[in-house]
Structure 1
Amino acid sequence: MSETANSTPTVNTTNYRSIWGYLQELEFRQGFVEVEGVRTRFAEAGSTDKPHAILLHGTGGHWETFAPNLGALSEHYHCVAIDMVGNGFSEKPDYDYEIDVYVRQILAVMDKFSMDKAHLIGMSLGAWVSAAVAVNHPDRVNKLILMSPAGLIATASNMARIRAERTAAVENPTWDSIHKVFEHLIADEDNRLPDLVALRQVIYRRDDTRNTIDHLLILQDASARDRNLIPEKKWATITAPTMVVASGKDHGEYQNTARTVARVIPTSEIFEMAEVRHWPHFEDPESFNPAALAFLGK
């Protein structure tokens, strides 16, 4: 991709890539459901008579992070990817979004889609929420896939980075400021698809996003983070078979968490993806999708 002298790389229109390259032949539906009093956006793919899978994004995310995965997964599973409360295009109520808020939403979504149990596939915050469901509601979980997981440890520097980066992008949602968010999420510039930047820009320009950004970032405050972290002894109680994805170019905090939880969860295995950053499933679906299907199909 070519670059301007002092700005974000420009879009390569000769070999333009879009998330629709992954979705164009996929039979899926997007909609909204009311759960826990929150209008929740979702994408659903795969026959409802197949085993169920819930897909959960990270902080500030939306279901499109799973665009490269829905096609492969929905051949074998009934997949529902959501925008979690306060994120994406879901409703953003006027209260803090702590882990229990997300957990209640996930359980309500499962009930809405008639899922007694489901595989939970989560990235970053989504992995944290998935683990919390597995700890507190083990009867609702079949297997876990945890990518770039959060929820075990927290460093002041990383919390400050996330808060500053996201707040700046919401306060001044230019293309450059949104692009900087993705520099920490995706290692290869060619995989920072313009569609993603444009979607996030639309979300960050919304009045409801600006009005509730502090609620969304509550988990970057030390006191809130500490009361929501899952201690190592509780990670060790997870009985669901678990695949932990460790991203080799991710922030050290997430790499440490991945390797620690893979060690302490009794029925776990680790999948190393050396060349990706915080969104391994999006950046390298050619590696992630077969590994995820092999794990879930065991």
Structure 2
Amino acid sequence: MSDHEHRSIWGHLTQLAFKQDWIDAGGIRTRYVQAGPSDAPVLIMLHGTGSSWECFCATLQSHSAHFNCLAIDLVGSGFSDKPDTPYEIPYYVEHLRAFMDAMGVQKASMMGVSLGSWISGRFVVTYPERVEKLVLLASSGLIVNKETMGRTIGVRSKAVDDPTWEHIKPVFNSILFEERDRIPDLIQLRQTIYMQPEMKRAMDNILVLQREEVRLRNNLSEDDWRSVQQPLLIILAPDDNPDYLVTGRRIAELAPNARTCEISGVKHWAHYEKPEVFDPVSLGFLLEDR
């Protein structure tokens, strides 16, 4: 067997010094992992819909050599608290702000995947003084596609209603390009998350953003993106759902300090599927001018 066939979450973390813990962030018990020097510049990593910090397992070692990396489980996701309230983008933004305050972080760069990119965008518009740079993968929060939203609702609801292996595995079909990257580690972890008693209710609250009227009021406007002065690196994945490619390209046209990098053969998780391509680009961008 090739090494790729033995890939695992833990395999990416074996030589990494890191700490997993929980912290009270504005009343929300928040799970996070910290890696890298505590006195280094902070890089906060934000996962996508219904995911967890482990989506950054292949990225932490390279980036923690230069940054104090904080990868969190967003409110309602992973093993963080799941209050019974709709999780709209401002709610996530305030959770992120409370997490930063609790950790004593005044300013950070952010790496966001899908929902995480959407939250990062709204955060920089709301709290520009607290953001240094942004890395966006599967850029979201600008357009509405009923077909994509309906598919997301269907797959995620089925997975959480009956979290069998057969129902969890399809969650990764829209996230990972290669079948070989949809490893048992990821499926088992997501299964464990979705089997939590409170997860079904939490998923209903997560999926409110897949309703047209809710998404429209949460999207960033083109003027919002024009106002972002911070440097942006936008990863474009031509083999992903076109929604994210269109969104990423449009943000790059609007934001005055944006640049793009196209990575083929990946979907949402370029940082996981092709870290050998993503890491040098991401680190080159984040370390520029330091």
Equivalent of 1:64, from 21, 35, 54? 54
What residue number does 1:43 align with?
Answer: 33
What residue number does 1:7 align with?
Answer: none
Letter of the structure 2 residue corresponding to residue 141 of structure 1: V
Q: Tell me the TM-score normalized by structure 2.
A: 0.97
User: What are the ranges of 5 or more consecutive residues in structure 2 without an aligned counterpart?
Assistant: none
Q: How does 1:9-158 map to 2 (within 5 A)?
A: 15-158=5-148
User: What SS does structure 2 have at the residue aligned with 1:153?
Assistant: coil
User: What SS does structure 2 have at the residue aligned with 1:212?
Assistant: helix
Q: CA–CA distance in 2 between the matches of 1:258 and 1:13?
A: 33
Asked if residue 295 in structure 1 is aligned to residue 285 in structure 2, the reply is yes
Equivalent of 1:205, from 195, 211, 221? 195
Structure 1 residues 139-165: Cα deviation after superposition (integer angstroms, max 9, x where no partner)? 000000010111000111111110011
In structure 2, relative to structure 1, the CA distance for the partners of 1:25 and 1:14 (3 Å cut) is: closer
Equivalent of 1:183, from 173, 193, 196? 173
User: What SS does structure 1 have at the residue aligned with 2:261?
Assistant: strand
Q: CA–CA distance in 1 between the matches of 2:195 and 2:105?
A: 34
User: What are the ranges of 5 or more consecutive residues in structure 1 without an aligned counterpart?
Assistant: 2-11
In structure 2, relative to structure 1, the CA distance for the partners of 1:13 and 1:54 (3 Å cut) is: closer
User: What SS does structure 1 have at the residue aligned with 2:198?
Assistant: helix
Runs of at least 4 residues off by over 4 Å: none
1:109 deviates by 1.2
Q: CA–CA distance in 2 between the matches of 1:14 and 1:260?
A: 35
1:105 deviates by 1.0
Q: CA–CA distance in 2 between the matches of 1:243 and 1:66?
A: 17
1:14 deviates by 9.9
Q: CA–CA distance in 2 between the matches of 1:134 and 1:27?
A: 30
Letter of the structure 2 residue corresponding to residue 40 of structure 1: T
Identity over aligned residues, as a percent?
41
What residue number does 2:267 align with?
Answer: 277
Asked if residue 246 in structure 1 is aligned to residue 236 in structure 2, the reply is yes
Q: CA–CA distance in 2 between the matches of 1:15 and 1:107?
A: 39
1:212 deviates by 2.1
Letter of the structure 1 residue corresponding to residue 238 of structure 2: G
1:222 deviates by 1.1
Q: Tell me the TM-score normalized by structure 1.
A: 0.94
In structure 2, relative to structure 1, the CA distance for the partners of 1:47 and 1:237 (3 Å cut) is: same
Asked if residue 162 in structure 1 is aligned to residue 155 in structure 2, the reply is no
> Would you say the 8 A contact 2:5–2:180 is kept in 1?
no
